[in-house]
Amino acid sequence: MSSNTTINRQDFLKTCGAACLGVVSFSALLTSCKSVYYAQMPVLKGNVIEVSRKEFDAVSKKGEVSIRPFILVEMKGQSFPIYLYRRSDTDYSAVLMKCSHQGNELNAHDGHLTCPAHGSEYDANGKVTEGPAEKNLTAYRVTADPQTITIHIA
């Protein structure tokens, strides 16, 4: 059924105004977003992935440096990203972002991972904090030296 409803001038203006406002606030939101950061140059060397320590530095437009609480590491062909969490300057943890419930990819937050599928939650070490998941996430050993952070995969 085709409907050719006529709308009056006022309605039209109102709708337009709302739409404009929507677009403006949407783009404002978009630019203010700090989206999840993926490591720019992770390197796969045999059974380890190396990430530069610098990847944790977030440089603002004004040149101020802040430290990211976590970054995601994804090499080409990798099935799921790795969540690399910074506990301290020398202490990091790394877990695979694959929900142990039914294998959905997790969403990353500061210190937590959540599954949009059925609501499972994990802490930064991959420990289940909320079901239905039962098993903890796959965790990797991480070592760090002043320049690089090394994730030991095998």
Partner 1 sequence: MKYCLLFCGAFAALPALAQVDTTQNASMNALFGRDTTLRPPNAQLKLNMDATYDRPFLTTGKMPVSVGGYLEANTQYMQTNGVTEGFSFQMRRMTVFLAATINRRIKFLSEIEFEDGTKEINIEFAAMDIQFDQLFNLRGGIIMNPIGSFNQNHDGPKWEFIDRPLSSTRIIPSTWSNVGFGLYGKKYSRDWVWAYEAYLTNGFDDQIIANDQNRTFLPATKANQDRFEESFNGVPLITLKTALKRRKLGEIGLSWMGGVYNKFQDDGLILDERRRVDVWAVDFNTTLPTRTFITGELVWAHINVPPSYTQQFGRKQQGGWIDIVHPIRRGRMLGWNTAALNVALRVERVDYNVDKFNETGENIFDELWSVVPAISFRPSPTTVIRANYRYQWDTDLLGNPPARTAGFQFGFSTYF
75 binds partner 1 per the rule CB under 8 A = yes
Tell me the β-bridge partners of 150. Answer: 50, 143
Distances (CA, A) of 145 to 52, 54, 91, 93, 99: 10, 12, 10, 14, 30
Q: Between 40 and 79, name the residue whose CB sits nearer to ligand FES.
A: 79
The Cα–Cα gap between 115 and 107 comes to: 6
Shortest gap between Cβ of 96 and partner 1 (angstroms)? 7
Q: Which is nearer to ligand FES, 49 or 137 (CB)?
A: 137
> Two tokens at 14?
């109102």
The binder of partner 1 chosen from 52, 114, 136, 148 (CB under 8 A): 114
Cβ pair 152, 141 in contact under 8 A: yes
Which of 36, 52, 69, 104 forms a contact with ligand FES (CB under 6 A)? Answer: 104
Q: Which does 51 bind (CB under 5 to 8 A by kind): ligand FES, partner 1, none?
A: none
Interface with ligand FES, residue 132, by CB under 6 A? yes
